Amino acid sequence: MNVLEDIGAGVVRNFAYVGGLTEQFWSGVRALPRVLPLLGKRSRWQASIRQMAAIGVAALPMIAVMAASTGMILALQGAAELRRFGALRYVIDLVAVGFTRELGPLLTAIVVSGRSGSAFSAEIGTMVVTSEIDALRTMALDPIEFVLAPKYLAAIVMVPCLTIMCNVFGILAGAGFMYLSTKMALGIYVKYVLDSIYLRDVLGGLLKSLAFATIIVHVGCMEGFKVRGGPEAVGRSTTSAVVRSTFLVILADLFFTAFFYLARLQ
Amino acid sequence: MASPAISVRDLSVSYEGHQVLDRVNLEIRPNEIMVLLGGSGSGKTTLLRQIIGLERPDSGSILIRNVDINNCAPEELKQIRRRIGVAFQESALFNSMTTEENVALPLQELTDVAEPVIEIMVYLTLAAVGLAEARKLMPHELSGGMKKRAAVARAIVMDPDILVFDEPSAGLDPIVSAELDELILFLKKAFRMTILVVTHEISSAFRIADRIAMLYKGSLIAVEDKDRFRGSTDLQIRQFLDRIPDKLGEVPAVQEHLRELSGITGVRE
């Protein structure tokens, strides 16, 4: 009976969590216009621009190294098999399609979740512990608009940009491999890449990255808002933010990939 | 007689089955300093959080200027919140902003006052709490007492009717604590504010209070003028004022020690 009760309690807890995330998502969407340049207060969109630098610009070196490494790994692994069939050229398709549809958005999401999702949670959790969030509420200021919305705007702008950069670096790593193994010129490589991918692949990847950005920001912020107690609770919230957001990003990726696969069959 | 600035009626709050506040009734008059005393776990911070609208009760109501804050429109609640300044125990200054930016925040966010006017208002407010020279400092560069003063400046910059302090003396040495008490008295006199102070510091309470309310295990056991409160013969009040811990007499080591000190019947400061 205890096992059933535990399962039931777990299901209820997770539904409540998703419900809370959904509620926070709509509050965030409603607050977005108030952080936009020209429409919102200057201090808000200035905060958004600071967040864009933190989420996007500061993450670029890590994204570049990870994408190039993964691109090279994918090319090496693909080549090991394709070479046996004399189909080494298809390494280009593998890297280009793999990155635009899948690896670009996913790698970017994992990096942003680890860097920024945890930072959001730690920042907001600390604000909760030091009563700063309570102070905002007592000043009749909305913490969602003040704290979450600038991060959300920054993420939905910067994560797709980072995804594009991730695709570029991953595909360039493939170019490096093809040059080293077959002396293929960059121009020819790019032509093959453009032949192998469709616009829908790129747009699908960008759509995924928008969804991933939404998940990372809202999970990170929610874990921060949920903090109760002292500094040790802040530490737990950052771990939870990364684990939960990575888990939800992969679930969302599965959903999108299955959807696009079925859409192509139609 | 003027209607109360804050009226708490039959307020009950529980967390996970544990009763934290039990049918509390309290009226705070305009332009008085009410000190809410009580030991740790007596429910005083919960009552404060209820009064400033951060939590909702299980039952009962809280009226600020005759408006029930738990049954009013969100816009009306916003208007009420603008009339209440809160100085939190941890000061709750925003660490990414300077002292003057912290104080300017409510003016920038909630009013259409021009930036040069805001600068003047912030300077005057910081000067009133003795922090004009520290206006460019970041919160981490301020001492504990200065942080509390900055929090007070932020709480009063919107010219509220009601000012609420949560444990203003916590973590301060006696001299800084006494200075803060002087500041609270000055605010009442200069700005004619209604002030609620939640504390467990007895000396500070008697310095600043017009009236004192005492919470004991979630129930309000006294609301008195401070002189009558000082002379109270109520067992719980005497125990608190004379600083005799609840369970002291039940600790075996203390019992043994008391037996050795035959003839001593109580503990005084």
Q: Give the pLDDT of residue B39.
A: 84
Write down the pLDDT at residue B269: 46
**Which of B49, B88, B110 is opposite residue A140, by nearest beta carbon?**
B110
Helices (H), A113-230: 118-129, 132-138, 143, 149-182, 186-196, 199-225
Q: What is the DSSP string of B103-155?
A: HHHHHHHH----HHHHHHHHHHHHHHTT-GGGTTS-GGGS-HHHHHHHHHHHH
A138/B86 Cβ within 8 A: yes
The residues on A that touch B, with CB distances below 8 Å, are 41, 43, 130-132, 134-135, 137-141
Contacts of B78 in chain A (CB under 8 A): 140
CA distance A54 to chain B (A): 15
Show the tokens assigned to A3: 């096992």
Q: What is the CA radius of gyration of chain B?
A: 20
Per residue in A49-62, pLDDT tens? 999 999 999 999 99
The whole-angstrom distance between A133's CA and the closest CA on chain B is 8
**Distance to chain B for A150, nearest Cα, Å:** 15
Task: Judge: B109–A135 Cβ closer than 8 Å, yes or no.
Answer: no
**Residue among B52, B69, B77, B105 with most chain A CBs within 10 A, to mutate:** B105
* CA angle in degrees (0–180, nearest 5) for B184-B188-B190: 110
What does the pLDDT average to over A176-192?
Answer: 92
Pairs across A and B, CB distance < 8 A? 48
Closest residue in A to B74 (Cα–Cα): A140
Which residue is closest to A40 within chain B, CA to CA? B109
Question: CA-to-CA distance for A13 and B15, rounded, in angstroms?
Answer: 18
The residues with which B197 forms a beta bridge, in sequence order, are B35, B165
What is the reported pLDDT for A157? Answer: 95
CA distance B173 to chain A (A): 21
Beta strands in chain B (DSSP E): 6-15, 18-28, 33-37, 59-64, 67-68, 84-87, 162-166, 194-199, 211-216, 219-225
- Is the confidence at residue A78, as pLDDT, over 80? yes
Are the beta carbons of B54 and A131 separated by less than 8 Å? no
Q: What is the pLDDT of residues A19-36, one digit of tens each?
A: 999 999 999 999 998 888
pLDDT tens-digit profile, chain B (269 residues):
678 889 999 999 998 888 999 999 999 999 999 999 988 888 988 999 999 988 999 999 999 988 899 888 888 888 888 889 999 988 899 988 999 999 999 998 888 889 999 999 999 999 988 888 889 999 999 988 899 889 999 999 998 999 999 988 887 788 888 888 888 998 888 888 999 999 888 888 899 999 999 998 889 998 989 888 888 888 888 888 877 665 555 556 655 655 565 555 555 54
Bridge partners, residue B67, by sequence: B64
Tokens coding A122? 């730690």
**So what's the pLDDT on residue A91?**
93
Asked whether the CA dihedral B257, B262, B264, B269 is positive or negative, the reply is negative
Site from A43, A133, A138, A145 to mutate, B interface, most B CB atoms within 10 angstroms: A138
Please enumerate residues of B whose Cβ is less than 8 A from a Cβ of A. 49, 52-54, 77-79, 81-82, 84, 86, 88-90, 92-94, 105-106, 108-110, 154, 158
Q: How far apart are CA A19 and CA A22, in angstroms?
A: 5
Angle, alpha carbons A172-A175-A176 (nearest 5°): 95
Give the mean model confidence (pLDDT) for residues A82-89.
89
A137-164 average pLDDT score: 93
Q: What pLDDT is stored for residue A253 in this prediction?
A: 95
* Model confidence band, residue A38 (pLDDT cutoffs 50, 70, 90): confident
Structure tokens at B263: 């003839």
pLDDT of B266 reads: 53
The residue behind tokens 């490096």 is A176
Q: What is the mean pLDDT of residues A164-185?
A: 94
How far does the CA of residue B50 sit from the closest CA of chain A (Å)?
A: 11
Which positions in chain A touch B109 (Cβ < 8 Å)? 41, 43, 139, 141
Smallest Cβ–Cβ distance between B92 and the set A43, A134, A141 belongs to A134
**pTM of the predicted model, to two decimals?**
0.84
Q: What is the ipTM of this complex?
A: 0.82
Query: How close B175 gets to chain A, by Cα (Å)?
Result: 24
pLDDT for the residue B165: 92
Contact assessment for residue B59 and residue B256, using Cβ atoms and an 8 Å cutoff: no
pLDDT (0 to 100) of residue B178? 86
Closest partner residue to A131 among B53, B90, B108, by Cβ?
A: B90
Query: Closest by alpha carbon to A225, among A235, A216, A237, A236?
Result: A237
Which pLDDT value is given to residue A40?
78
3-state secondary structure of B231: coil
**Average pLDDT for chain A:** 92
Distance from CA of A31 to the nearest CA of B (A): 14
Give the closest of B49, B54, B81 to A140, CB-based: B81
Contact B205, B35 (CB under 8 A): yes
Look at residue A71 in the predicted model and tell me its pLDDT.
95
